[in-house]
Amino acid sequence: MLNVPSQSFPAPSSQQRAASGGRSKVPLKQGRSLMDWIRLSKSGKDLTGLKGRLIEVTEEELKKHNKKDDCWICIRGFVYNVTSYMEFHPGGEDELMRAAGSDGTDLFDQVHRWVNYESMLKECLVGRMAVKPAIPKGLLPRSQVTDTTTKEGPSSPSYDWFQTDSLVTIVIYTKQKDINLDSIIVDHQNDSFRAETIIKDYSYLIHVGLSHEIQEDFSVRIVENVGKIEIVLKKRENMSWKCLGHPLEKHNSLLPKKDRGSYYRQCQLISKEDITHDTKLFCLMLPPSTHLQVPIGQHVYLKLTITGTEIVKPYTPVFDSLLSEFKEPVLPNNKYIYFLIKIYPAGLFTPELDHLQIGDFVPVSSPEGNFKISKLQEVEDLFLLAAGTGFTPMVKILNCALINTPSLRKVKLMFFNKTEDDIIWRSQLEKLAFEDKRFDVEFVLSAPSSEWNGKQGHISPALLSEFLKRSSEKSKVLLCICGPMPFTEQGIRLLHDLNFSKDEIHSFTA
Ligand code: FAD
Ligand code: NAP
């Protein structure tokens, strides 16, 4: 609903157009792009029909507005009149109508909870839902629940702190063995100190205003096997602290990860390098007082304000090159995040991103995504199917498989592009295939020049059945697929036809 990633924009001539038979993708009419919506919402037109008034909406009132020409939707307690947005919704009017006259929060969260609807639908805000006078016994409204340890969730973590003359150490006891440096994200900004620990699909947050000043840099350590995290802060002045600080919003709360709002920190653009004619390697530096490592196979959101509206889009961090990580150990506390980003001249976000100057700041979210590194455990044959920038999640997976997966026998990448000029890191891929016998790469072009004598066409049963040869009949296989949504959907169907099971396939989506 509301604003799906661009792979759902099916311009007939667009590089991202949908194939027939794919997921419900609805071609938007002329003049109904996201940019057109931003223009309309800034035009001063009364989009709520309430002439700027905000009202309290009862459930009965909300239910009445359930038609295409009069459609209200509630998201997280706020009600929006989305009637004028209907034609601009990239997922189509019918998808939006599924929430008409009702609370669409769950539906919204399922499809694209990361979308900053508050900014997108600012001018459609009708008001808040009226709070019900009586709360059923034993239940609290969602917003008031801070410690939500559910039966399915992990046992509740806890924290403690201690100090020396110069240091303050915050200790988080996660009670989970498989905690690592990817599991903890720490940000110290202005007066807020925030440490979010990801435990399976849950988020445990420590959020305090520290009682005294600390220095910019701090260290994060993991005591493996006991699930203990230590954050060591350096005091600015050597004095005894009476308390750690005062609690801020959602301090000491355990929530399902999906219910924890996005958190952004300002990262600085350090460099921008041409990789192909339209794809660039961006390097962003995290603030000194942030600890964040993006786990393999996960993405982050970048945020830009475009003509007054905040827009976020997902991007998948890579390494600075395919090969460098094979020479040097990964730094435990990496301060730089690299992205391979294709610039679409007619796109909304990437031209703006491309206009950023070195030294400019971009807000970067915490990581998201459902790839689990455990999927690589004991894998013998790894097949990677990538189209265009769908190559980006494969970079870290390839690296991790070749370095950290002892069981691995073969990694094969089938990389689909239009032309030779579009192939990202072609020479690095060829070099790696030459140097490491376990790795093979196959390029497939949909619009090759007459000189091309490699594979051509689109993803197809013939290409896949030839490519997907197991090293032994019963080898443990993982297939990863990523590219334009219709490519991925078609690929998954073909893989099922070739008898690969659901557990053997991982597809990357937002
Ligand atoms: P858009 O405005 O979305 O436009 C893209 C294309 O669609 C253009 O050709 C445009 O002309 C056309 N178009 C736009 N609006 C319409 C319309 N209304 N009707 C028809 N056609 C239209 N990309 C990367 O480069 N690197 C990554 O690492 C990366 N990681 C991703 C990770 C995830 C999980 C996902 C879901 C996507 C990822 N993407 C990545 C894609 C990225 O999020 C953006 O979708 C992409 O950068 C395009 O953004 P844009 O706003 O510039 O283009
Ligand atoms: P592109 O250059 O437009 O396409 C790459 C190749 O895929 C081309 O050969 C193209 O063939 C082919 N292709 C496109 N649509 C197809 C379809 N429906 N069926 C079969 N083949 C198809 O790709 P791009 O512009 O780089 O776009 C990459 C996509 O990957 C974006 O949609 C982006 O959102 C997505 N992505 C997702 C993630 C994630 O984690 N989910 C990460 C990175 C990127 P044609 O010449 O016929 O177009």
* 448 Cβ inside 6 Å of ligand 2: no
Please give the number of the atom of ligand 1 that sits closest to the Cα of 349. Answer: 51
Which ligand has the minimum distance to the alpha carbon of residue 387? 2
**What is the pLDDT, as a whole number, of residue 326?**
53
Residue 432 has a pLDDT of 95
Highest mean pLDDT among 16-20, 53-57, 468-472: 468-472
pLDDT on residue 155 = 74
Identify the CA nearest to 218 among candidates 250, 184, 252.
Answer: 184
If one residue of 4, 9, 15, 444 were mutated to test the ligand 2 pocket, choosing by the most ligand atoms within 8 A of its CB, it would be 15
Q: How far is CA 185 from CA 256, 296, 366, 465, in A?
A: 16, 15, 8, 42
Tell me how far apart the alpha carbons of residues 310 and 329 are, in angstroms, rounded to a whole number: 37
81-101: pLDDT as tens digits:
999 999 999 888 999 999 999
Sign, CA dihedral 426-427-429-434, equals positive
Q: Ligand 1 centroid to 11 CA: how many Å?
A: 11
30-44, 55-69, 479-493 — most confident range: 479-493
The alpha carbons of the chain give a radius of gyration, in whole angstroms, of: 25
Ligand 1 pocket by Cβ (under 6 Å):
5-6, 9, 11, 14-16, 28, 33, 299, 313-316, 339-342, 344, 346-350, 389, 392, 510
- Identify the residue whose C-alpha is closest to ligand 2 atom 43: 390
507 CB under 6 A from ligand 2? no
Has residue 359 got a pLDDT over 70?
Answer: yes
Predicted pLDDT at 156: 82
> What is the C-alpha to C-alpha distance for residues 376 and 383, in angstroms, rounded to an integer?
11
Residue 161 vs residues 212, 302, 493: alpha-carbon distances, Å: 14, 33, 52
Please give the pLDDT value at position 353. 98
By mean pLDDT, which of 58-72, 145-159, 208-222 is the weakest? 145-159
Measured in Å, residue 146 CA sits from the centre of ligand 1 at 36
Spatial CA neighbour of 189 closest among 257, 119, 287: 287
d(CA 494, CA 479) in angstroms, rounded, equals 12
Give the closest ligand to the alpha carbon of residue 297. Answer: 2
User: Distance of alpha carbon 507 from its chain centroid, rounded?
Assistant: 14
Distance 114 CA to ligand 2 centre (A): 22
User: Residue 444 CA: which ligand 2 atom is closest?
Assistant: 9
Mean pLDDT of the chain: 87
**Is there a contact between 255 and 149 (Cβ–Cβ < 8 Å)?**
no
d(CA 421, CA 284): 26
Global model pTM greater than 0.85: no
Instruction: List, for residues 13-34, the tens digit of each pLDDT value.
Output: 333 333 333 344 567 778 888 8
The answer to whether 186 touches 229, Cβ cutoff 8 Å, is no
- Rounded CA separation 471/63 (Å): 58
Which pLDDT tens digit goes with each residue over 234-267?
Answer: 999 999 999 999 999 999 999 999 899 889 999 9
**Assigned token pair, 436:** 């490491």
Could you tell me if the CB of 389 is within 6 A of ligand 2? yes
The percentage of residues in the chain with a pLDDT greater than 70, rounded to a whole number, is: 88
Distances (CA, A) of 41 to 9, 74, 91: 20, 19, 19
Most confident range (mean pLDDT) of 37-51, 134-148, 251-265 is: 251-265
Model pLDDT, residue 16: 38
Does 327 or 497 have the greater pLDDT score?
497
Q: What confidence tens digit (pLDDT) does each residue in 363-422 have?
A: 999 999 989 999 999 999 999 999 999 999 999 999 999 998 999 999 999 999 999 999
The secondary structure of residue 178, as a DSSP letter, is -
Q: What is the largest CA-CA distance in the chain?
A: 75
Write down the pLDDT at residue 107: 85
What's the token pair of residue 324? 């460098």
Tell me the range of 171-175, 364-368, 506-510 where mean pLDDT is highest: 364-368
At 510, the pLDDT band (50, 70, 90 cuts) reads low
